[in-house]
Structure 1
């Protein structure tokens, strides 16, 4: 790989995966938005959020759009870098709600273990898979990150996805979206990256 190509990949990864960085690592603070596209009028994307209200998001001129594809749990091997949203299970351990397999260019994105708002009491762990074993309720992944490690159980049926490129033209009414945006003084939002549902695979984050 050329020296010119490597920085471009790193830049692309930062744009595609800004949505999964911890909010405290961004300045100004960002807001995660999940919902369904109502319309796209020029640079303004209107979204019906999962909470109900509609919000307007101004899309950056250099907007990065990504989609997702399903992958098998077997691709989550020791040494891979993943992000997983989880909630406490009945036994007190962490149970994954989704797993995102990062491409190698995005290794280290948002590394750590922190609160996440997909569900009450939720967490996000972006970390390297140290080991995996079959547990009673699913595959148990030991995840290591700078400063710590956790064990997350991946139950059968949990979405396991990896990013793929998408286009602005994929931002169609009815499509599910997930993004991280900056709220402006007038109550609107701006963003440089959107993950959109495509080919039946919606953002599970």
Structure 2
């Protein structure tokens, strides 16, 4: 009986160890150094060299977009700072073929804050979900009326308020300031892996091996902001 129990415990520990060693998803940001049929080598923003296997990866261009393209029913991902409401640090518009990718609200990396002077890195959270636009609303104040001839100018804030829904029940209110980079994913293939291009890679890390899950390359010199 003792021998059977010992073997059973040993087997359980082995399974537990295998489970704990499951690959972890990480993000790699940097510049493409080289690429071949099986892998891409990236010089990271921290100056390290990382080689990512690309056999099972999805590839997307990251191209400039605008607030005007964030409409009801569009699926987006947005890294945010703060609370009540959260403020978008960037917004990615997904094509319909990628709807549902990473859906939910969860912790994210420290990324560059393009909405504030200095561009320091800040702690962020990620929300991926479907957009419902909300009109910007401010407090009611005492007012006066002036009738006259108009000279057009931009608004003082220009931010857009969004409700992003996810996982059927969850939702977040997010303010998108005009300084926040707005980009869109465009499905592509591994031909986009050109040396010198900026890249954002989602990888599964298993020991020293990095398996690419999604490789997003900036189009026309763009640096992926996420």
Q: Is 1:43 aligned with 2:38?
A: yes
Q: Which runs of 5+ in 1 are unaligned?
A: 1-26
For 1:196, the equivalent position in structure 2 comes to 217
Q: 1:126 maps to which residue?
A: 128
Q: Secondary structure at the match of 1:108?
A: coil
- The equivalent residue for 1:88 is 82
What is the alpha-carbon distance in structure 2 between the residues aligned to residue 148 and residue 64 of structure 1?
27
Gaps of 5+ in 2: 1-21, 112-121, 138-155
From 26, 31, 36, the equivalent of 1:31 is 26
The CA deviation at 1:41 is 4.4
Spell out, residue by residue over 1:123-143, the C-alpha distance to the aligned partner (whole angstroms, 9 max, x if none): 110112122223674111122
Aligned counterpart, 1:16: none
Using the TM superposition, give the Cα deviation of residue 84 of structure 1 relative to its aligned residue in structure 2, in angstroms.
Answer: 0.6
Q: What is the aligned counterpart of 1:110 among 79, 102, 116?
A: 102
Post-superposition Cα deviations, 1:84-117, rounded to whole Å, max 9, x if no partner, equal: 111127xx63111111112223222222111111
TM-score, length-scaled by structure 1: 0.76
Task: Within 5 Å, give how 1:1-205 maps onto structure 2.
Answer: 28-60=23-55, 62-88=56-82, 93-119=85-111, 120-134=122-136, 137=157, 138-146=159-167, 147-185=169-207, 187-205=208-226
DSSP-derived class of the 1:110 partner: coil
- Offset of 1:42 from its aligned partner? 4.5
Following superposition, the deviation at residue 174 of structure 1 comes to 1.4
Number of aligned positions between the proteins:
175
Q: Which has the higher strand share?
A: 1
In 1: Cα distance, 2:104 partner to 2:95 partner? 17
Structure with higher Rg: it is: 2
**Matched-pair contact (CA < 8 Å) for 2:31–2:199:** yes
- For residue 192 of structure 1, report the CA deviation from its aligned partner: 3.9
Query: 1:198 & 1:57 partners in 2: Cα distance?
Result: 20
Change (3 A) 1:82 1:63: closer
Aligned residues of 2:107 and 2:126 also touching (Cα < 8 A)? yes
Q: Match of 1:199, SS?
A: helix
Provide the alpha-carbon RMSD of the alignment: 2.2
Does the CA-based 8 Å contact 1:55-1:188 persist in structure 2?
Answer: no
Deviation string 1:127-169 (CA, Å, 9 cap, x unpaired) is 1212222367411112222332211111113221211133323
